[in-house]
């Protein structure tokens, strides 16, 4: 495979020039903003939740990697776009199983590997403008929200995951129609994919950070001193 081959997959890009996708490139800073906002919340919550911090760093790298891809636009640069996204998806899936459902590491890791295998198979299906590969992640969000909803102490997390799933579904729709609307709207819809996904990642990070203390076990809560 020629890693230097140009990628011309988006309406906005009409040449292989570095700045041929200014809107697609600049909207990636929404991910950096989402990461910065999550970092502020992380610090306010004590700054000791290192799994969440790792996902915050990955979120920032999603923005940086996608910016590089939408400027250099080669097959090699595409790796800087897709790898951080994959790390976030699988990392958050594992964190959700551990933090929201209290699964031990072994079964949580096994389920994450199975989820990764399903997601990889989905990427081989050529349909929906390449959006099929993200459908397992959307399904996981919806299923997690549904499973957590009946649990009173998990209701806030369930609501956050449900909202993230709804926004993600909308962003997937815009990603899917990007090529189809090129003749009528040359800028395309990929910019909305970036901005809406930044909102999705912010909601997921916020849910994880807040759940780290708010959803502690009764034993842990009993050990914490109460206000006078």
**Known binding-site positions for Ca(2+):** 9, 12, 21
Other Cβ atoms closer than 10 A to 179:
16
d(CA 157, CA 199): 16
Paired tokens of 121: 């198979």
What residue numbers does the annotated binding site for Zn(2+) cover?
A: 70, 190, 194
d(CA 10, CA 179): 7
Q: Mention every residue, 6+ apart, whose C-beta is less than 8 A from residue 96.
A: 140, 144, 208
What residue numbers does the annotated binding site cover?
A: 9, 12, 21, 70, 190, 194
d(CA 199, CA 215): 23
Whether 98 and 139 have beta carbons less than 8 Å apart is answered as no
Helices (H), strands (E): how many in the chain?
9, 0
């Amino acid at each position: 495979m020629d890693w230097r081959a140009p990628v011309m997959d988006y309406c906005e890009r009409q040449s292989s020039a570095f700045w041929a996708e200014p809107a697609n490139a600049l909207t990636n800073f929404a991910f950096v903003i989402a990461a910065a906002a999550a970092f502020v919340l992380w610090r306010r919550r004590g700054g000791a939740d290192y799994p969440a911090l790792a996902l915050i760093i990955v979120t920032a790298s999603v923005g940086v990697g996608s910016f590089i891809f939408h400027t250099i636009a080669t097959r090699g640069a595409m790796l800087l776009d897709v790898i951080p996204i994959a790390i976030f998806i699988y990392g958050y899936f594992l964190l959700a199983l551990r933090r929201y459902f209290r699964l031990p590491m072994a079964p949580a890791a096994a389920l994450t590997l199975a989820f990764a295998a399903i997601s990889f198979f989905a990427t081989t299906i050529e349909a929906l403008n390449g959006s099929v590969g993200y459908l397992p992640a959307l399904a996981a969000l919806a299923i997690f929200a549904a499973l957590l909803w009946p649990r009173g102490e998990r209701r806030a997390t369930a609501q956050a995951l449900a909202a993230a799933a709804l926004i993600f579904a909308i962003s997937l729709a815009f990603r899917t129609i990007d090529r189809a609307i090129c003749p009528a709207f040359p800028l395309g819809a990929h910019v909305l994919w970036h901005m809406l996904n930044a909102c999705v990642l912010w909601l997921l990070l916020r849910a994880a950070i807040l759940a780290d203390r708010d959803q502690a076990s009764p034993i842990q809560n009993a050990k914490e001193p109460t206000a006078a």
